Amino acid sequence: MLIISQNATNYDLNFPSDVVLRINLAWCNSLEELENNLKKHSDQKIFVDLPIGRIKPPNNKYSLDGLLPVINENENIRYFAISNVESKDDLKPFLEKLPKRVNVIPKIESPQAINNIGEICEELENEEKI
């Protein structure tokens, strides 16, 4: 999988058709901006990255419930990364609410998460575990 940052789309570059575009919600200033990016890149698979616990700027915050209408309306959202997953319990709301087409990706970023990596991976429902 080749993942390209949303920032790369600011340049006059051509990407292969199988590129996955990563949209980091820390750098999206509104849901409207997210929706515009999704429409602009509707022919590409999208990797949405939800920063949780981010303290450095930019520090945009979005709730899962606030994002769900956008996710449900955009079939090209195929990956959803969650920052600072420490245990399988951190994944439950996402696994319960996100559409099954979306591959949930826990971002392992602490010693506690490393200690719990087995239970975190077992909780993932998709065949492809990233």
Q: Based on C-alpha coordinates, what's the Rg of the chain?
A: 15
pTM (two decimals): 0.90
Q: Please write the tens of the pLDDT for every residue from 83-95.
A: 999 999 999 999 9
**pLDDT for the residue 125:** 85
Q: Which residues of the chain have pLDDT under 50?
A: none
Q: Which positions ≥6 away from 40 have C-beta within 8 Å? A: 9
